[in-house]
Amino acid sequence: MAPPDSIALAAGRNRAVLRRQQGDKFQLLAAPRWLTSALGVEHDFPITVDIAKQHPLRPLFTLARDIIACGRAVQDYCIEFEMENGDIIAVLAQGRLDGDVIMTLEDVSDIVRSRRKAAAIGAFHGIIGQSLAMLEVFHKIATYAPTDAPVIITGETGTGKELVARALHERSKRNRAPFVAVNCNALTAELFESELFGHEKGSFTGAMRQHRGRFERANSGTLFLDEIGDMPPFTQAKMLRALEEGVIERVGSEKEESVDVRVLAATNVALEQAVQQRRFRADLYHRLSVLRIHIPALRDRHGDVPLLVERFLAHFARRYEKQVKRLTPEAISILEQYHWPGNVRELRNVIERLVIESTGELIGARALARWMDEREYLMPGEWNADAIYAPRAPIIAPPAQSEAATHHTEALEALPRDGNRFWGSVRSNAPSPQKYTFERFEAPPSDDVIEAEIVSSPRPEGTASPVELTRETVEDAFAKAGGNATRAAARLGVHKATLYRHMKRLGISLDEARGEAAEEKS
């Protein structure tokens, strides 16, 4: 048993001390005032409670009983006290046995309430998700928002980094001041400094008037720097000074301006790597990465896909005045199993396309077949500028007006299922509620629905049509492109994904093609 004076030492603002009397009787020797007042209990110790009887503090005593029974500490246990009016008071407890049971308690009621609300409606400041990973993101937003510390938001492209930044701003005490976003990738190095810090009239050719930079415009509010890894090196030094000292200097000005700005930054590349390669200043990295929120890729939270689909479907159906109401379970299952290199942005665009093309109330799996086929070889991380700016694969024409070009249930039902092959590169080990094979889709010859959706892109002169690609032409293209697949595809006048598909058909592996190219070079 601890000596009596240890109780006074142990009892702090967030401490509770409990002692077992006999049997089910416990004494509360100290507890935080915010807890007793919230539960309507007199703040007059000791409070003796029989654990077998109802008492507002009973959850605390049952935890104390468990700690005594097990003789070991309890970490991170969220006790919920349910009030008579149904409200919940949530307390995060760490407890240990030191003669008495000593507990550290933290009020997390706000976090639990906001999380429950988010789970109930499936959205948090416009960010849709109910998965455990996203609930953690929401929790971090709620925790980090009230502080003024910089936050680095990481995640693949299309995961919603700006939405998270906006949520942080909206929940902060700066929410009445401006939220200013800058894409560090979208401006040249010369323009960047002037855009961020402003310039004086006449400071350079074309500076016809004084210009307030984004930093000044975000004064008292939040500045969001997207793609921070692409910030020019010289600007990084000025940025560090602005963060450290809260002062900026307009281009061409000799006067310093004080600014009060919270900086949020986002990146889809590993900043640590950029620091190692000396493309990003280590001091700025350390200054910015006080807090970090990582947004999971959509393939890591595929359980959120149905919810996202439902929201996007309703949104686009309203926008385009369509009757479409839902996707069939097969279609949803396919979307759940896709690896989503473009993340939520890609899903949103897919749903927009499906809604525009649909004329019925239901969208089936068949409507997705060609779309998936186009993306067969687009793996996570390959959704980059090379892929985007490489010669285009066949593009999707505007929705055909023929009756055949619909996604009606009848059309779907008419499709023979047995032995149909959809596509092969979807998540192979993902659970599928529908027992059908995931192989290449072969449309029946009489069906012109899919063909009606495709038009060919103009092909550069002297390049092969994909159907004419042979082992020799592919190997030759790789050899001339020095083993680079994107450049080889460009030489052949096809999209990289199309090239990969034909390589698979011809039985040529990427390593083999590169090896051939290397041999030819040597």
Q: Which residues bind another protein (CB under 8 A)?
A: 58-59, 62-63, 65-66, 72, 74-82, 90, 92-93, 95, 108, 111-112, 115-116, 132, 135-136, 139
Q: How far is the CB of 47 from another protein (least distance, A)?
A: 18
- Would you say 94 or 473 has its CB closer to another protein? 94
- Would you say 37 or 75 has its CB closer to another protein? 75
Strands 247-249 and 222-226: unpaired
Q: How far is the CB of 103 from another protein (least distance, A)?
A: 11
Q: How far is the CB of 176 from another protein (least distance, A)?
A: 28
Please tell me the distance from the alpha carbon of residue 161 to that of residue 139, in angstroms, as a whole number: 15
- Would you say 117 or 505 has its CB closer to another protein? 117
Strands, E assignment, 377-426: 395-396
Q: At what angle do helices 305-319 and 343-357 cross, to 10 degrees?
A: 50
Peptide bond into 46 cis (omega under 30): yes
- Would you say 78 or 149 has its CB closer to another protein? 78
Please tell me the distance from the alpha carbon of residue 249 to that of residue 257, in angstroms, as a whole number: 6
Q: How far is the CB of 218 from another protein (least distance, A)?
A: 31
Q: How far is the CB of 135 from another protein (least distance, A)?
A: 5
Q: For residue 430, how far is the Cα from the chain centroid?
A: 20
Angle at 382 between CA 379 and CA 384, to 5 degrees: 150
- Would you say 432 or 473 has its CB closer to another protein? 432
- Would you say 123 or 269 has its CB closer to another protein? 123
Angle at 28 between CA 24 and CA 32, to 5 degrees: 145
Q: How far is the CB of 38 from another protein (least distance, A)?
A: 15
Please tell me the distance from the alpha carbon of residue 261 to that of residue 217, in angstroms, as a whole number: 9
The residues near 204 (Cβ < 8 Å, ≥ 6 apart) are 194, 251, 252
Beta-carbon-side half-sphere exposure of residue 265 (alpha carbons within 13 Å): 28
Q: How far is the CB of 61 from another protein (least distance, A)?
A: 9
Q: Are 137 and 54 in contact (CB under 8 A)?
A: no
Tokens matching residue 152: 């680095």
- Would you say 75 or 220 has its CB closer to another protein? 75
